[in-house]
């Protein structure tokens, strides 16, 4: 089995950059959630690659708990998004900014 750890880490960095660009660029709250999921997945890939490379299962455990945290984050976050949508009628961040400076 060829060692692909370097390629995995490079791919993880690329995916994290994509998620970060999405967080910085998008204005819709739902798209911000999608970008956050991409970043979490990128860290999962890096954790799994390092874990397999070192022969230590702790990295895969961390990835597992990251998945659990992401699941609960999505559950609570979607509830909050629904409340925000019911209250303001939009998910656009420009319309949601209530502090006028």
Partner 1 sequence: MEAIAFYIFAILITGLFLVTVFSRNILYSMSSLAAGMVLISGLFFIIRADFLGAVQLVVYSGAIMALYAFGMMFFDATRDVKEKNTSKYLVFLLSGFSAVALVVIFSAPAIGKHIEVEPIAKGLGHLDNVHAIGAVLFTKYLIPFEVAAVMLLVAMIAGIVLASKRMDESLSEVYVGTDPETEKKEQK
Q: Which x/- pattern, by CB under 8 A, does the window 23-62 give for partner 1?
A: --xx-x-xx-xxx-xx--x--xx--xx-xx--xxxx-xx-
CA distances to 10, 28, 32, 81, 96 from 99, rounded to whole Å, are: 40, 18, 20, 19, 9
Phi-psi region of 92 (alpha: psi -120 to 50; beta: other; left: phi over 0): beta
The Cα 9–Cα 48 span in angstroms is 10
CB-nearer residue toward partner 1: 56 or 93:
56
CB-nearer residue toward partner 1: 44 or 101:
44
Token pair 């999921």 is at which residue? 37
Tell the smallest beta-carbon distance from residue 98 to partner 1 (Å).
Answer: 14
Helix pair 29-54, 5-25: axis angle to 10 deg: 170
Residue ranges that bind partner 1, judged by CB under 8 A: 1-2, 4, 7-8, 11, 14-15, 18-19, 21-22, 25-26, 28, 30-31, 33-35, 37-38, 41, 44-45, 48-49, 51-52, 55-58, 60-61, 63-65, 67-76, 78-83, 85-87, 89, 91
């Amino acid at each position: 089995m060829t060692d692909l750890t370097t390629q995995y880490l490079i791919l993880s960095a690329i995916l994290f950059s994509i998620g970060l660009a999405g967080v910085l660029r998008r204005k819709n709250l739902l798209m911000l959630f999608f970008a956050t999921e991409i970043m979490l997945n990128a860290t999962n890939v890096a954790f799994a690659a390092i874990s397999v490379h070192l022969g230590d299962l702790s990295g895969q455990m961390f990835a597992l708990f990251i998945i659990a945290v992401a699941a609960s984050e999505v559950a609570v976050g979607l509830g909050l998004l629904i409340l925000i949508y019911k209250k303001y009628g939009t998910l656009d961040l420009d319309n949601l900014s209530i502090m006028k400076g």
